[in-house]
Amino acid sequence: MRRHDLDWLRVSVFGLLIFYHVGMFFVPWEYHIKNNVEYSWLRYPMLFLNQWRLPILFVISGMGTSYALNKRTGLQFSLERIKRLFLPLVVGMLLIVPPQVYIERIAYGQFMGTYFEFWPSKAFTGVYPEGNLSWHHLWFLPYLLLFSLALLPVFLYLRKHPGNRFISRIKKIVSNKYGLFWFLIPLFLYESLLEPFFNVTHALIGDWFAIANYATLFFYGFLLISVKEQFWKTVTQHRRFYLRCGLIGFTLFLSLILIFEDSIWIHFTEASLKVFNLWSWILALFGYAANYLNKQSKILTYSNEAVYPFYILHQTITIVAGYFIMNLSWGLLPKFFILSIATFGGSFIIYEFFIRRWKWIRPLFGLKLKKVTYPPSKQSRGSEAKVDPSF
């Protein structure tokens, strides 16, 4: 049974990802190229988004995996995951990411020459950052593929035994508004005990904190769908409570990192506030989306298919456009506006005219061979999915 609120959340969070990557051009955090003026205050709204934007995407992907497995065998699911995740990753590393690396190299005087002097002869020599081969923002795809295949035996068991003791226990836990905070325990342990020793690299190899953290969130998504309507009932009824928890959690977290020096006790307190904050926002967003957004529309129909190609394309367009304005004397707002319009507009043009309409190009960007058809918008909210929402 399709939940349109998950589609709305997925589309909205990936839309925020585009604004987030535009913002990375202006904040004093490491990024591929930087504006000639950096704005320290912009870190705080960026930090707010950064707390929950990736976690909720992995939870939504885990939920989508449950829907995908309802229509496929384990083998069919595995082959479909490879086709939808690995193929676009390879295409992205060959065609989409190299312009980003090229722009970075010429921006900082590390390469002199045209793009076709860089690609393909230099584009795949060595591994980034020392070399040029990278998956950059497409790191989400290999992680999602790893989690999908590694957790598949567990998912198949849970699907085959929907009334097992574990699921029954989880259903009882999520029926209470406080019970959902039990899910914080593994996240707190990762944040407090793993994160200090394993920096997030998105390189997959050795990225133990990110793997443990995101795999658990992915598993949570599958688990919460497995308890069926009980989860949605709880988050819908108590969405205001979770929103208040999120507001309090982020306020305390921000105050802590601004006021206190780092120490072992501050570290554990920060870890607890961080996971409390991100989980509260995830629950609040699910609650409000379930209450207000579980409905189909023409905008959602189009956006739900477009979001994957937009994700693949967007950062390259942002970096290319950013290169041409990075040293101009314009202020933050004009540059942010230009970069946002260029990214959304460029992604739309490439998707609409060079991907969506071409049968054999579509699979290279994770789409089905034929254009997707949807049920009429007035069809019931529980109508069966025509698009696999597991990305």
- Give yes or no for a contact between 101 and 129, defined as CB atoms under 8 angstroms apart: no
Tell me if the bond preceding 129 is cis, omega within 30° of 0: yes
Write the single-letter amino acid at 251: T
Residue 243 dihedral angles phi and psi, to the nearest 5°: -65, -45
CA-based torsion, 70, 305, 204, 60: positive or negative = negative
Q: Residue 196: which residues within 8 A CB-CB, separation 6 or more?
A: 267
Structure tokens at 34: 């930087």
Residues of the chain with pLDDT under 70: 1, 371-391
- Res 382: pLDDT: 38
- Res 236: pLDDT: 97
- Res 371: pLDDT: 53
- What is the crossing angle of helices 298-325 and 98-107, to 10°? 30
Q: How far apart are the first and last CA of the chain?
A: 17
335-346 confidence digits (pLDDT tens): 999 999 999 999
- Res 381: pLDDT: 39
Q: Residue 21: which residues within 8 A CB-CB, separation 6 or more?
A: 137, 314, 315, 318, 343
d(Cα 97, Cα 136) in Å, to the nearest integer? 7
d(Cα 289, Cα 298) in Å, to the nearest integer? 17
Encode 149-164: b = buried (16+ Cβ within 10 Å), e = exposed: eebbeebeebeeeeee
pTM: 0.93
